[in-house]
Structure 1
Amino acid sequence: MKRLLFLFQYIGKPRTVGSILPSSRFLGDKMMEGIDFKKAKYIIEYGPGTGVFTKKLLEKRSPETIILLVEQNKEFYSLLKEKFKDERNLFIVYGSAENIIEHVREYGVPYIDYVISGLPFASLPKSVSTKILLESSKILKKDGEFITFQYTMYKKKFIKQFFTKIDVKRELRNVPPAYVFSCSMSQNSREESYGV
């Protein structure tokens, strides 16, 4: 059922739904590898889709950790609301990651430890990608990370404009195989860029 929903959404909205299938559990594990769940207090997920990564975040997080999901596909949003309706400290926003600063203010979130992104930057308009990455780099705490996956290395150079360091891992057990980018920014770079 979830695979069919994903396929239909991809056919109807290929620019915002980046794949014909949900991410594999192997890719989910790779996305979680670098997260320090004992210390993380605030985690955001962009484009959770059917909730493959969300499920893993909920399994691994501390009960007090707040997770904010941002989904702009109405069908996926409705599915997530029903699927995770009994979860504490989980908030689901129907909206765009472009407005992430507004969303975190609305929920009283002071900073973000990790951003987990399932957004297809290769197919999003450049102006949208730029705003999302810029706003995300602003809300991350000094040792925070922006973790995303892409199906090619095409957007690595573009993403590196917003972060000083990108570690790349590959996950072959996904359809299609994917690259996981773990992006961070040194405190010096943050202060020079944004005057924090």
Structure 2
Amino acid sequence: MPRFDRRRFLLAWLRAITPSGPRLAGLMTKEISALTGPVLELGPGTGVFTAALLERGIAERDLTLIEYERDFAMLLQGRFPDARVLQLDVREMWKTALSGSFFGGVVSGLPLLAMRPDDVQALLEGCFSNLRPHAAFYQFTYGPKCPVPIEILDSLGLVSKRIGWTLRNFPPAAVYRISRRYPLMILIEQRRA
């Protein structure tokens, strides 16, 4: 098995057997408030981050949850009946269900390290095309650095900053905020249009 495939398999397996804990959920959502507006959650799994978003004041009706696994999507719909739960592949979400949607933030439980770099770049490009100027993409990782390669961040005009880490999660995890390098320029361009 090639090294990249082994890493993808291991990360997917790890995500499946170790749901995120409350400390990680708190870190993932600490910069989000009721003022953030609609939030897009990618790979919500059992809804640990979703529940934390509700605690931060996001209205359930302002949550859009994208979950690939059918069983998790059904579970989420039962737990969060007022949220918009879509069972689909994140690579397809901007082509169909979310076309024309805008969000105040993205919370991602996706295993970016297990994804192909082309897919990570397309995912971020799609998300930032549908985010408000000062909105951010929040991602956790079990790795030692941001899971998005610097080359991808640079090519999209993005920056990452670690906003926290917790040893009280198994395994320990760090959370990164990914945002536009120059959000003010985007706001000026939108006002000119």
Coarse TM-score class (shorter-chain normalised): 0.7 to 0.9
- Maintained 8 Å contact 2:120/2:148: no
Q: 1:189 to 1:156 in 2, by over 3 A?
A: farther
Which one of the candidate residues 174, 177, 181 is aligned to 1:179?
174
Letter in 2 for 1:179: A
Structure 2 distance, partners of 1:63, 1:155, is: 29
TM-score (norm 2): 0.79
Q: 1:95 to 1:181 in 2, by over 3 A?
A: same
TM-score (norm 1): 0.78
Q: Is 1:61 matched up with 2:57?
A: yes
Mapping of 1:121-136 within 5 angstroms?
A: 121-136=112-127
Q: Is 1:46 matched up with 2:42?
A: yes
Superposed CA deviations along residues 95-154 of structure 1, whole A, max 9, x for unmatched, are 12223323223xx63x11100000001111222222111111111110001001011116
The unaligned stretches of length 5 or more in structure 1 are 1-12
Structure 1 distance, partners of 2:79, 2:184, is: 41
Task: Provide the aligned length of Structure 1 versus Structure 2.
Answer: 177
1:22 corresponds in structure 2 to 19
1:157 corresponds in structure 2 to 149
Once the two structures are overlaid, the 10-residue window that deviates more, 15-24 or 38-47, is: 15-24
Question: Percent identity of the aligned residues?
Answer: 26
Letter in 2 for 1:143: H
Letter in 2 for 1:147: Y
1:70 corresponds in structure 2 to 66
What value does the CA root-mean-square deviation take over the aligned residues? 2.8
2:87 corresponds in structure 1 to 94
Once the two structures are overlaid, the 10-residue window that deviates more, 60-69 or 42-51, is: 60-69
Structure 2 distance, partners of 1:17, 1:46, is: 18
Which one of the candidate residues 101, 104, 112 is aligned to 2:98?
104
Superposed CA deviations along residues 69-112 of structure 1, whole A, max 9, x for unmatched, are 00001121121122223xx3x1000012223323223xx63x11
- Maintained 8 Å contact 1:23/1:174: yes
1:10 corresponds in structure 2 to none
- Maintained 8 Å contact 1:98/1:135: no
